[in-house]
Amino acid sequence: MMMIKIKFEKGAIGARHNHFHSQVSYVAAGEFRVSVKGEDKVLKTGDGFYVSPNINHGVECLEPGILIDVFSPIREDFLK
């Protein structure tokens, strides 16, 4: 498992992508438009979402914020 903290400025985009990891994300601050499997939702501080392996997903930061992402297994690509 790996946990990361990502700070976003308003308008920042987490481009749509997929990976073989399970992912849980918590909105620690701010507001985000989250797309999972083509379904968009606006999430605010205290909300969270789950992404199954190999599912297309991405975010758009609507208000400056922070996401806490947890991946299983660890994201080896983040360690490089």
Please identify which residue in the block is written with the tokens 């297994």.
Answer: 73
pLDDT on residue 80: 81
pTM of the model: 0.93
- Which residues in the chain come in under a pLDDT of 50? none
pLDDT on residue 34: 98
Residues of the chain with pLDDT > 90, as a percent, come to 94
Superfamily of domain 2-79: Jelly Rolls (2.60.120.10)
Domain limits, the chain: 2-79
DSSP state of 20: S
Residue 11 and residue 4: Cα distance in Å, rounded? 20
Please identify which residue in the block is written with the tokens 């599912």.
Answer: 55
Query: Rounded to whole angstroms, what are the CA distances from 53 to 20, 36, 63, 77?
Result: 5, 11, 27, 16
